[in-house]
Amino acid sequence: MGLIRKLMSLTLPLLLGGCAIFAPSYNEAIYTKLDGAHASLTKIETSIEASSPSRVPYGKVEPYYIDALAGVKEAADIAGKRPAYLRGRPAANAARLLVDNIDNCRRAIEASRAAFKADGQAPNEADNISVVRNVCAIPNTMEGALK
C-alpha cells in the first residue's frame, strides 16, 4: 500500500502537469474583462425588457455597448500575446482559438451596435442581444476552464 501511494504521488503531478503542455495557463484579467463585457450586454438586454413595450433609444444603451467593447478589446490585447510566447508548443493552438473566439465576440457586439444605431431597436432586439451574449460566453467559458 505504501509503494502505491509513493508511485501515485510521483505520477499524479506528472499527469496533471501534462495539461499545461496543451493549454495556456489561466489569466484572471482575461476572464474578468470578458465577464465585464457579459455584464454590460446583460444591462442592454435588461434595459430593453424593462422598457417593453416601448422602444429604447440607442443613446440609452450606447454606454453599455462601449463598456462591452472596451472589456473585449482589453481581453483581446492580453490574450493576443499568448500565441507568440507559446509558439511551437501545443498550447499555442488553444491560445489562438481563444483569441479567435474573443474576436468573434467583438464582431458580434459591433454588428449589434451598428444595427441598433442605424435602425433603432428591432422588435426582437432582446433575443439578438441574448445571441451576442452567448457568442461572448464562449471565450469566457474557455478561459474559465483553464482554472
pLDDT higher than threshold 50 for residue 143: yes
pTM for this predicted structure: 0.84
The mean pLDDT value for 36-58 works out to 95
C-alpha 29/C-alpha 22 separation (Å) is 21
For residue 132, give the nearest of 37, 31, 30 by alpha carbon.
37
Round to whole Å and give the CA distance between 106 and 37.
10
Question: Picking from 34-48, 82-96, 110-124, which range would have the lowest pLDDT averaged per residue?
Answer: 82-96
With left for phi above 0 and alpha for psi between -120 and 50, is residue 88 left, alpha or beta?
left
Lowest average pLDDT, out of 22-26, 47-51, 69-73, goes to: 22-26
Mean predicted confidence (pLDDT) in 108-127:
96
Report residue 71's pLDDT band, with 50, 70 and 90 as the boundaries: very high
Q: Domains in the chain, ordered, with CATH?
A: 26-144 (1.20.120)
